[in-house]
């Protein structure tokens, strides 16, 4: 029987993926995590609990980040066996964090059920935050994302962000397990669970921000340029024509192209081309955002993933700050420099833009731009708030192919809208291009892998949610205090005498 348990826990991790997009079955992670916590509660040693956490993580990540294989093999030209090994190694690394959380819970052994539930939630949340921070971070599949946008728990997003929702989700799972363990007739443990979810529903009624000005017309362009064609010189003219046609067909004040929509350095971009598009934007009394690569004018080796604005407002730009390891920069280059030769990725060693960049004043709005992977880091998005009235994410999720990756990325953008109380406009190469309102609801989208423009309206907002003002600081302090209480309980030697 013991050899079956790791398989069961692994399958629980896989089932947890059903909580995320494109499935959106948000109650599933509560149930699967409740069962995992049951395994940890009845584990004989902290090491065994860590093993359950590791198995759960392997199931979660092996099912949830399969798109990485597509990026490495299908578009990065990595051999099959090497891509599989790389994916397994990554999943094993990511699984160390739920293993650490489970180990901490079993090691501290809080003396009361309520404290045990709080320690379970705090340890999981802190380990997720650590996963999203170490080595530039990989917060994908943070369990809080599974609740966007339909769960009552998203009512807490403007207060505590995605990590706070993770804490409340795991706390709910712990209380659910206690109810099963002690019996549902014992209302003391069921009542906090009900209050958490009812409060989340009530919090959704609060207006944290207010509309500013009139809605602005927007066009979000989806060029649908195949990834294996994008950087080919013989396809450049077709790419430029595709985006020129889409831009010239729009009468919106704000027109947005995806990241590096034109695969050229800005200094060699035909001036007549940009001037033509800029004049069209001026006729609309607005601006167009165009993604280009940018290199330093002094002939240095630095180059950036940059969005430029052209049109009625003075020209502005935003340089991507948070880069993708091994996709946009090579960490520890003396050790991992060989990866550049294995992965056939153009411009694989970008430089970072500044973290203090401010919103663009364009199309009558103050637009906070974030490029692709950057919208996974909510604590960085809020650095341009509350000044920004709109959020814009530009991406090229063609790297994910027809996997669940683009839908998961859309759900992440929905969480950013919920946290900040701002519309999120997504312009992507192949999808998912969408307009998301300040409540995290997708108002409009277009079919993926089609060449099209999404025309609609976006309302600017002003004001700051509590999360915008405090970020993760208060939540991290709270989680630290909970673990301190758990540690004090362990020192008092109460063990599992609940």
Residues 6+ apart with CB under 8 A from 122: 167, 478, 479, 480, 482, 483, 486
Say if residues 433 and 427 touch (Cβ distance below 8 Å). Answer: yes
User: Residues 220, 424: contact at Cβ < 8 Å?
Assistant: no
Two tokens, residue 12: 């629980």
Structure tokens at 402: 């027809």
In this structure, the number of other CB atoms found within 10 A of the CB of residue 479 comes to 24
Please tell me which residue in 259, 294, 374, 419 is annotated as part of the active site: 259
Residues 66/60, Cβ–Cβ less than 8 Å: no
Tokens of 133: 């921070």
Catalytic residue at 372?
yes
Check 40, 179, 320, 374 and give the catalytic one: 320
User: Hey, how many other C-beta atoms are within 10 angstroms of the C-beta on 185?
Assistant: 7
Nearest to 290 by CA among 306, 268, 312, 272: 306
Check 294, 372, 379, 419 and give the catalytic one. 372
CB 487, CB 119: distance < 8 Å: no
What is the phi/psi pair of residue 309, to 5°?
-105, 140
Tokens representing 220 are 């979000």
Q: What is the CA radius of gyration of the chain?
A: 24
Q: Residue 411: which residues within 8 A CB-CB, separation 6 or more?
A: 20, 21, 24, 145, 148, 149
Q: Catalytic residue at 40?
A: no
Give the residue numbers marked as catalytic: 259, 320, 372
């Amino acid at each position: 029987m013991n050899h079956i348990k790791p398989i069961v826990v692994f399958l629980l991790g896989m089932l947890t993926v059903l909580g995320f997009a494109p499935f959106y079955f948000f109650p599933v992670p509560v149930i699967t995590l409740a069962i995992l916590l049951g395994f940890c509660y009845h584990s004989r040693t902290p090491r065994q609990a860590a093993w359950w956490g590791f198995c759960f993580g392997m199931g979660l990540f092996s099912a949830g980040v399969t798109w990485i294989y597509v990026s490495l093999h299908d578009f990065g030209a990595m051999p099959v066996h090497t891509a599989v090994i790389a994916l397994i190694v990554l999943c094993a690394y990511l699984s160390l964090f739920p293993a650490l959380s489970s180990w901490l819970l079993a090691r501290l052994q809080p003396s009361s059920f309520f404290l045990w539930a709080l320690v379970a939630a705090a340890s999981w949340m802190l380990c997720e935050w650590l996963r999203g921070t170490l080595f530039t971070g990989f917060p994908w599949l943070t369990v809080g994302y599974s609740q966007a946008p339909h769960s009552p728990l998203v009512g807490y997003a403007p207060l505590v962000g995605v990590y706070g929702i993770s804490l409340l989700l795991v706390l709910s799972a712990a209380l659910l397990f206690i109810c099963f363990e002690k019996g549902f007739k014992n209302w003391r443990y069921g009542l906090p669970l009900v209050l958490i979810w009812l409060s989340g529903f009530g919090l959704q009624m609060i207006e944290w921000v207010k509309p500013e000005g009139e809605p602005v017309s927007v066009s979000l362009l989806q060029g649908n340029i195949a990834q294996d064609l994008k950087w080919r010189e013989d396809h450049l003219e077709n790419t430029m024509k595709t985006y020129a046609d889409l831009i010239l067909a729009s009468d919106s004040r704000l027109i947005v192209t995806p990241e590096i929509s034109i695969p050229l350095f800005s200094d060699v971009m035909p001036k007549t081309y940009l001037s033509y598009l800029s004049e069209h934007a001026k006729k609309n009394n607005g601006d167009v955002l165009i993604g280009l690569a940018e290199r330093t004018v002094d002939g240095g080796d630095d180059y950036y993933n940059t969005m430029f604005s052209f049109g009625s407002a003075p020209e502005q730009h935003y340089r991507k700050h948070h880069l993708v390891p091994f996709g946009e920069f090579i960490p520890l280059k003396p050790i991992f420099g060989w990866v550049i030769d294995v992965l056939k990725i153009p411009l694989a060693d970008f430089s970072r833009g500044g973290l203090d960049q401010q919103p663009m004043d364009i199309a009558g709005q103050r637009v906070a731009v974030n490029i692709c992977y950057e919208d996974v880091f909510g604590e960085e998005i809020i650095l341009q708030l509350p000044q920004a009235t709109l959020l814009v994410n530009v991406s090229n999720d063609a790297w994910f192919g027809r996997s669940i990756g683009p839908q998961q990325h859309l759900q992440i953008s929905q969480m950013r809208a919920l946290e900040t109380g701002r519309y999120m406009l997504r312009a992507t190469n192949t999808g998912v291009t969408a307009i998301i309102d300040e409540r995290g609801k997708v108002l409009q989208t277009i079919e993926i892998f089609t060449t099209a423009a999404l025309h609609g309206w976006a309302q600017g907002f002003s004001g700051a949610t509590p999360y915008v003002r405090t970020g993760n600081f208060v939540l991290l302090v709270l989680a630290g205090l909970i673990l301190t209480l758990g540690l004090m309980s362990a020192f008092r030697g109460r063990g599992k005498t609940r």
